[in-house]
Copies of this chain bind each other. A is one copy, B any other.
Amino acid sequence: MNSYQLPEKPRIAVVGSGAVGCYYGGKLAAIGHDVRFLMRADLPAVREHGLTLWSSESTEIHIPAQGFATPEEIGPVDLVIIALKTTSNAALETLIPPLLHETTALVTLQNGLGNEAFLAERFGTERVLGALCFVCLNRVAPGRIEHYGHGTISIGEYLREPQPRTLAFAAMLREAGVTAKVVENLMTERWCKLVWNIPFNGLSIAAGGVTTDRIVEDSHLDALARALMRETIAIARAHGHTIPDSYVDFQMERTPPMGPYKPSSLIDYWAGRPVEVEPIWGEPLRQAHAAGVEAGRLEALYFLLKWLTAAKTDEVASPR
């Protein structure tokens, strides 16, 4: 069914028009691509003023973006960029079908594990690509995104090697000024990112709400972070992903220069928003069980996070 090709001038939809979706979609729209943003809260502002991308590295740019209220108004496109928060994935079952023609490609920019599988199961494996975004962004007002640094995106196919469309999408992003890489094995890249996210996003919440500098400065949290990294690597290896032991030191050593960094999960937790527990901890744990890998620290962290992030909006018993 799928040609693994993109047309010369693809029609693009962005589903989940938060900071990440608006940033990458906005960069493509800014150089003239036909990008259609599915929006709810931001729609009136974007219809009136378009998108604004402010960057700490360059001047502010205004983009006359096309906002839509429903996928039916957008209609079938060639490429769907999915940047919805994974805690809302169930909505994709109704949001995606109106956007599909026979060879529409779906690229998920979402966090963690399981999003490609979710899309593949519902819409066909051939359609699915994924990308990892290394970027510091904030949506500060409706239609206004601020970019503080980085921006690299690593793009790969789901369970197959890069195809013409993979290279074409990366080339479009590069033309738009984004550092875009094509990766041979998308899932290995996802596991590599989890080696950092599992301990640091998790402990930032479980240790009572702390920035990453506190984790590397405390001998006990540092030891636990390293042990979680070793468990993550063991699970990845059991699924055929080669990550060397030295990757633990590499990930630990790149952390102190980040200073008092707030992982996205901590920001969500502090803001009382849903935390993406399943793709970052739940799915890796299920993959540990599936492969018979002992992952007690990951399990303890997962169970604690399920409680802590659910309790956040509940009332928690406390004498104070």
A interface list, Cβ under 8 A from B:
203, 206-211, 214, 218, 220-221, 223-224, 227-228, 231, 260, 270, 294-304, 306-308, 310-311, 316-320
Contact = CB atoms under 8 A, between A and B. Distances in A.
A308 B300 CA distance: 16
Given A207-B304, A308-B207, A270 B319 contact: yes
A309 to B, nearest CB: 10
B208 A311 contact: yes
Q: Which one of A296, A308, A310, A319 has the highest number of Cβ atoms from chain B below 10 Å of its Cβ?
A: A296
A316 B297 CA distance: 23
Q: Report the 7 A-B pairs with minimum CB-CB distance, sorted nearest first.
A: A296-B296, A224-B303, A300-B300, A220-B306, A297-B300, A220-B303, A296-B297
Contacts of A220: 302-304, 306-307
A218 B314 CA distance: 12
Given A270-B319, A308-B208, A296 B300 contact: yes
Given A297-B296, A297-B297, A210 B316 contact: yes
Nearest to A294: B294
Nearest to A302: B220
Contacts of A301: 300
A221 B227 CA distance: 21
Contacts of A302: 220
Contacts of A318: 209
